[in-house]
A = this chain, B = another copy of it.
Amino acid sequence: MLVFTIGEFSKATGLTVKTLRFYHEEGLLAPSCVDEPSGYRYYDASKIEKARAIAFLRGLEFSLGEIKSILLRCDDDGDLLEAMTHQRGVIEEKIRQYRKVARSLDDFLNDEKKARQVMARAIFEVEERVLNPLRIAGIRRKGRYADCGERFGEIARRFGRMIRGKPLLLHYDGDYREDDADFEACLPVSGGQSAEGISVRELAGGPGVTLLHRGPYDQLGRSYTRILAHIKDKGQEALLPTREVYLKGPGMIFKGNPKNYLTEIQILVNAAT
Contact = CB atoms under 8 A, between A and B. Distances in A.
A127 interface: no
Given A60-B105, A88-B102, A105-B91, A81 B112 contact: yes
B98 A95 contact: yes
Interface stretch (A72-80, A183-191, A236-244): A72-80
A91 B102 contact: yes
A109 B85 contact: yes
Interface stretch (A5-13, A158-166, A205-213, A255-263): A255-263
How many copies of this chain does one complex carry?
Answer: 2
Interface residues of A, number: 39
Interface string A68-96: 00000011110011001101100110110
A105 B84 contact: yes
Nearest to A250: B49
A60 B106 CA distance: 11
A252 interface: yes
A156 to B, nearest CB: 14
A168 to B, nearest CB: 22
A53 interface: yes
A102 B92 contact: yes
Contact of A61 (B53, B101, B112, B254): B101
A27 interface: no
18 contacts: A53-B253, A59-B101, A59-B104, A60-B101, A60-B104, A60-B105, A61-B101, A74-B256, A76-B257, A77-B112, A77-B257, A77-B260, A80-B256, A81-B112, A84-B105, A88-B105, A88-B109, A91-B102
Given A49-B255, A91-B102, A98-B98, 10 more contacts: A49-B253, A74-B256, A75-B257, A77-B256, A84-B105, A84-B112, A88-B102, A91-B101, A95-B95, A95-B102
